[in-house]
Structures are given as C-alpha cells and as structure tokens.
Chain A
C-alpha cells in the first residue's frame, strides 16, 4: 500500500482561470498524471478576456491540453469581468461541474496570488468543491505572492519538455517573460533544490500548497 493516496488510478481535475495558467502552473504534474494512466481533466474558466482573441486562445488551450495527454477539457467561458471578486454564481457553476466529474483530487489557483481573478477562482473551488477530499493550490510564476509557502511537490524532471511544449502552444502569449523555457526551467529547478527532493543538480519540480488531503 502507498503512504498517501489510493492504490489505483486516480481521477484528477485542474482548474485554471486563463488558457495558459494550468500549463505554466502544473503542466508537468498533469503530464505525469496522464503518463501514469490517471484520468486527468481540465476546467478552463475563461478564455482570457482582453489578452487575445477568444477563438485563438481556445484553440491554443486545446493544443496545450493535447500535448499533456488530457482527454477532456471543460471550457466554461465565464466572463472575466464577473470574476474580479468572489462570486456565488460562479461557485455554483464550479460545484456543478466538479460534481459531474467527481474527481478524487482538484488542483487550482492559490489564494496567495496578486491576480484578483485567480483569487476568486481559488475561493470558488475551495468552497464549491467541499466534497472533494483533496484540494491543492498550484503557483503561477508571474502573480504568486511570497505567502505561497509550498508543502507538497511533484518531481517533473522527466516531464519538463512536455510542460514547455504545452506552454509554447499559447502563441498569442509568446511575448510574455514567464512563458519562456528558461524561466519555466529555472523555477522548477529552484523548487526541486529548495525542497531537498534529491541530489540531482538538474532535478525539476512543481510546488503546491495543500489546502486539504483527506486520506
């Protein structure tokens, strides 16, 4: 028996505000889930608002998910302008979608974030998915605050290329600093080393804050 989790394949879902959030925050972890045969799904809450053509961003999101081996992408296309603060209406939508998927674990944005839409989604998931036993927060390099103190890690050394490839599908965002491969690698290497996960100097990890894990 394993120390944590269950002795069978898992169903997990990752919730992201904008089309590239999940790939950048936890693309390696999702690739690892799918490589292990887990049923990994994505809930994409918006199509990015003002930062690009929604049709193009949807297409990029589909391609990014495909690279990671995601079989199901749920696009809610909720108006970004309504997510500038926590919303009961949105919480109900998330609750319904999560109930339909019925995952064992949810990954979502962290509340330790400067971006108000990320915070609103983090709160909506934490409240709307109370029935889910495991909720973890991922980090988003451009907006995570220093209060994000990770206490869970996933070794993604073998999956970094997939992560970078999935992020690179978001061509409309390619000018952004945080989507550059060296930035992605640098954070992952820092997380691996600071978490003392091993002695591989090229080791790479993604970091999470556990909201709850009921085992």
Chain B
C-alpha cells in the first residue's frame, strides 16, 4: 500500500514518525515523503543528498515543494500538496499535528488536511510537547531492535530519536517497548487497510 508522510523538514519525520515509517517500509509498503518548505532556499547538492539518504533507508520517493507559503493557509499551498497527494494516491497520510502553537507547522498541518480530502486514513504526529495532543494510536517497537541505520539528517542523534519515541510511553503500553504515538484524524477500520 502507498503511504505519504508530510513534514516541513527531514528532522520532523525523524522525531515524529521515523520508526513507524521504517516499519511500513520493511513490511513492503511504499513510503513517500513530502517536504513542504521553500526549497528554493535549498542548494541543489543538499536536495540530492537528502534524496539519496532517504532512498537508502527504504523511502520510495521524496517530494519537495517549492515556494510553500509558511505564513498562511493558501489555496496555492493546498493545491501544491494536493497535486502530490493525487499523484501518490495513498491509503494512509501521516501529517503534523494541527493544534500546535508553532505557527509554521500549524499552517502546514491545516493545508495538508485540506489537501488530503478523500484519503481514508489520516494520522497526526507531534514533535514537541503539546498539551493539546492526545495520542490514541501507538506503534510499539522492541527497545533492543537496532533498526536500520539512518540518518536522514545528521543533526538529530539517536538519543534524541529514542527520547522522542519514548515520550508517550505510559502504563498502557509498558516500559519494555519504544512507542511512537499518533492522534487519529480518521481511520477506516475493517477495510483493506486493517486486515486482509
């Protein structure tokens, strides 16, 4: 199945949903990333490097948007994201959490929600402390499992990633596992996405 994850930079994925994306990739799903920023600021060399690193860890394709307006939810923003979503035609979209105090991320999240109309499964991740975020879907991972070597970006070290993965661990899950937590915007259960 096809999955798309949207973020404003590579480190968003690393802190918010990296292990989940890797799990999906390992299970044979096609994982696509959309980096919605103003890529005109990026150098060609950096883009190529990011693309290469993502491919190495099993990401099917990385899409970079150009001139994403980080100041407001615009028709153009939504249209840009929607054109990629239409191309990928995913059955699951993973977006940043929309009720955040970080303005840029809020704009991206709301644009992405509009762009993902028609997608049956939408999960949202959060990368900073946020009292509005009430996760209800938890992906668990063995603590000892080393996982694939990454890094998509060099500035995020593994201990930060581990802390990010653990931050929503609670009694509900136990302490012997790492967890990545998501809030569901909508999921369609008992469909092909849940059980074959």
Which of A2, A5, A36, A154 has the most C-beta atoms of chain B within 10 angstroms of its own C-beta? A2
Asked if residues B195 and A10 are in contact (CB atoms below 8 Å), the reply is: yes
Chain B residues whose CB sits within 8 angstroms of the CB of A130 once the complex forms: 171-172
B35 within 8 A of A: no
**Interchain CA distance A94-B120 in the complex, whole Å:** 33
**Cβ contacts B146-168/A at 8 Å (1 or 0 each):** 00000000000000000000000
**Interchain CA distance A212-B139 in the complex, whole Å:** 11
A97 within 8 A of B: no
CB-nearest residue of chain A to B174: A214
**Cβ contacts A1-26/B at 8 Å (1 or 0 each):** 11111111010000000000000000
Within 8 A of B (CB), among A18-48: 29, 32-33, 36
Which of B136, B171, B195 has the most C-beta atoms of chain A within 10 angstroms of its own C-beta? B195
**Cβ contacts B122-157/A at 8 Å (1 or 0 each):** 000000000000001111100000000000000000
Q: Which of A10, A33, A150, A214 contacts B140 (CB 8 A)?
A: A214
Q: Is the interface of A mostly helix, strand, loop or mixed?
A: loop
Chain A residues whose CB sits within 8 angstroms of the CB of B188 once the complex forms: 152-155, 195, 197
Asked if residues B195 and A215 are in contact (CB atoms below 8 Å), the reply is: no
**Interchain CA distance A130-B174 in the complex, whole Å:** 11
| Range for the number of chain A residues in contact with chain B | 20 to 34
Asked if residues B120 and A197 are in contact (CB atoms below 8 Å), the reply is: yes
Asked if residues A214 and B173 are in contact (CB atoms below 8 Å), the reply is: yes
CB distance from B142 to the nearest CB of A (A): 14
CB distance from B124 to the nearest CB of A (A): 10
CB distance from B70 to the nearest CB of A (A): 26
**Interchain CA distance A196-B191 in the complex, whole Å:** 15
CB-nearest residue of chain B to A33: B190
**Interchain CA distance A195-B185 in the complex, whole Å:** 10
A151 within 8 A of B: yes
Asked if residues A2 and B24 are in contact (CB atoms below 8 Å), the reply is: no
**Interchain CA distance A154-B188 in the complex, whole Å:** 6
Asked if residues A213 and B137 are in contact (CB atoms below 8 Å), the reply is: yes
Asked if residues B189 and A215 are in contact (CB atoms below 8 Å), the reply is: no
Chain B residues whose CB sits within 8 angstroms of the CB of A1 once the complex forms: 27-29
Supplied contacts A4-B121, A36-B195, 6 more A-B pairs, CB within 8 Å: A2-B192, A4-B137, A130-B172, A208-B189, A213-B136, A213-B138
Q: List 16 A-B contacts (CB under 8 A).
A: A1-B28, A3-B24, A4-B187, A4-B189, A7-B196, A36-B195, A136-B189, A154-B190, A196-B118, A197-B120, A198-B120, A208-B189, A210-B187, A212-B138, A215-B138, A215-B139
Binding site for A on B (CB under 8 A): 1, 3, 24, 27-29, 91-92, 117-118, 120-121, 136-140, 171-173, 183-196
